[in-house]
Structure formats: C-alpha cells, structure tokens
Amino acid sequence: MKAATRPEEAEPMRIASLLASATEIIAALGLRGNLVGVSHCCDYPAGVEGLPVLTSSVVDKAAPQAEIDRIVRAHLADNAALYALDTDLLEKLQPDLIVTQALCDVCAVSGEDVEAALGAIASKPRLVNLEPVTLADVLKTIHAVAVAAGVPERGEQLVMRLNARIDRVVARVARHETSPRVLLLDWLDPPFMGGHWIADLITLAGGVDVSGLSGAPSRRTDWDEVAALQPDYLILAMCGFEPARTRADAALGEAAAALAALEHAGTRVRIVDGNGLFNRPGPRLVDSLELLASLIHPLSDESPSSRRLSLR
C-alpha cells in the first residue's frame, strides 16, 4: 500500500499572476518560487521576466502618448480587448491559484476573460480578483492574496511592516508647518490626473491633494486646469513609463510649453518612476510614499537619487 503523503511533502501551490502588482505581492510574501506564469508587464522582482508569459497587449509602449491614448479609447469604445490571455499556456501550466484584477480594463487582462478560461483548466484553480481603490484597500489585498495562498500569517506580518513605514513617514512630515499643494499626473498627452490611492499618498506625505480624486479613477484634464490648480509641486508619474521616457515626453510639444510656464510661475516639477512606483497597487506604494515625502518635504540629507528625478 502506498504511504500517505505527509503535509510537508505536499506539492507546493502553483500560482499564476496576471498583474504586475500581484506578482510583487506574491514575491513579498515569500512565494516567488511558487509562480509558474506572469503577465507581460511583470518585471519585478528581478528574474520574474524569465517565467512563462501569459498575456500580451495590442498597445506598443514605444508609441507616442497621444497615439497610445487614441488606441486605448478606440478599443474601449468598441468593447474590444486591449490584452490577450494565452489560454492554452494557462491550461498547460495548471495553476492552483490565479491572481488578477477587475478594476481597470486599461491596466491588465479583464477579469471576465480570465473567468471564461477557468473551465478548461483541470486543476480548477481559485481565482482572486484584486480591486483596490485606496491605499488601505491595497493593504487588504495583500492579506487576501496571503490567505488564498495559504500563508495568512505572512500577510499579517508584511502589512504590519508596511504600516510601520507609513507611520514613520507621517511622523516625519508632521514636523513641517507647511502642507504643499500637490498634483500628480499619470499621463501627459493628453494630461490625466492620477486617481485612486494617489490622494492618500499625497496626504500621508504631508501634502494637500488638489485633484479631488480620492478613491476615484484617473481623470483627463487640460493644461489650463492644471495651471488653475496652482500646485506647489507637480509630480509626473507616467503610467507604465520609467523616468527617462517621461523626461523625453515632457520635452515635447504642448507639454513642454505648459511645464515651462508652470515652473516659471513657481511650480516645482518632479519626474518619478511611473512604472514600478505610484501606479502599481502593491508593496512598493510605500516606497512611493517615502519618495514623495522626500520630494515635497526635502531634508538636508536628501538622497542623490531623489534629486536626480527633477525635470531640469
């Protein structure tokens, strides 16, 4: 008779992540080795790019921002998918857990597409949809992923560590008497104000969010409205773009003229990483908070890496 498998000999959970922030959460929970597939956007922590890629996009990231915006709007108007899911590969990988999102069709493969693919997977995976709209929600999703993966205590410990870092930022900025007016843009052509958890980050960093979008999606705006809001700091965190690409785009056309006028009027323009930071609802939102606090409440020992993020 075959001996019963002891608990410690059980097969490790196989996890497929269809979202960059979910991959970061899974890795932060110590489950990097359980990942069997990721999305085309997953690039952190280092090495996940080598895993099987389960999604693809119709959007060319190298295209001008205006062209990307046009393609996205056209697809959404026609209810056409921006992302494709490799269902054959997903079936082959036989995951036990799939982590995705149902918050934003612009950000990742739709939750409906994933649910439609579940019937063909013999392993009958559990599906976890993440839909955070505030920083508090993001911390809750970390715990939800931990529970689904069978490591709830790791989720509790990770959230505790992240909250301790948040508390340290709040305590530091509380010593400042001023609260700068801050606006974050997550797109330049056309300009979009960052929504969802961005207002939380600005407030916790000791600033005043002037977008009015707390918990709400990003919103299209124009440069006249940006100027009328009179931000002391304008943070450029282009969704999916690293600082070098944002800096290049900020030097083009209407954006260049508008940003120059804002700087002339006294607004401090700062460029940050909109790919790994600020726009990914995972553990590195706390990194984003720490960076934002150092930008709008700089210390004498401000890190050189922070200073290099300025527009000029």
pLDDT in tens, 92-129: 999 999 998 766 555 566 667 777 777 778 888 999 99
Select the more confidently predicted residue: 310 or 92. 92
Q: What is the mean pLDDT of residues 12-25?
A: 94
Q: What is the mean pLDDT of residues 159-184?
A: 95
**What six digits make up the tokens of 268?**
């401090």
CA distances from 292 to 131, 162, 232, 234 (A): 24, 16, 13, 11
Task: State residue 22's pLDDT score.
Answer: 95
Task: State residue 302's pLDDT score.
Answer: 45
DSSP character at residue 94: -
Task: State residue 312's pLDDT score.
Answer: 39
Instruction: Identify the helix (H) or strand (E) that includes residue 301.
Output: none
- 132 touches 138 (CB < 8 A): yes
| Mean of the per-residue pLDDT values of the chain | 88
Asked if the model's pLDDT at residue 23 lies above 80, the reply is: yes
**What six digits make up the tokens of 311?**
């527009």
Lowest mean pLDDT among 37-41, 43-47, 120-124, 235-239: 120-124
Which residues on neighbouring strands pair with residue 16, listed in sequence order? 37, 98
Lowest mean pLDDT among 109-113, 190-194, 223-227: 109-113
Beta strands, E only, the chain: 15-17, 35-37, 55-57, 83-85, 97-101, 126-130, 181-188, 191-193, 208-209, 219-220, 233-236, 268-271
pLDDT, tens digit, 9 for 90 and up, residues 130-151:
989 999 999 999 999 999 999 9
Percent of the chain with pLDDT over 70: 88
Task: State residue 60's pLDDT score.
Answer: 80
Lowest mean pLDDT among 71-80, 194-203, 264-273, 296-305: 296-305
Q: What is the mean pLDDT of residues 234-247?
A: 96
Asked if the model's pLDDT at residue 159 lies above 60, the reply is: yes
Asked if the model's pLDDT at residue 2 lies above 70, the reply is: no
| Residues in CB range of 98: below 8 A, 6 or more apart | 15, 16, 17, 18, 90, 114, 118, 125, 126, 127, 128
Select the more confidently predicted residue: 86 or 60. 86
Taking the C-alpha atoms of residue 97 and residue 236, their distance in angstroms, rounded to an integer, is 35
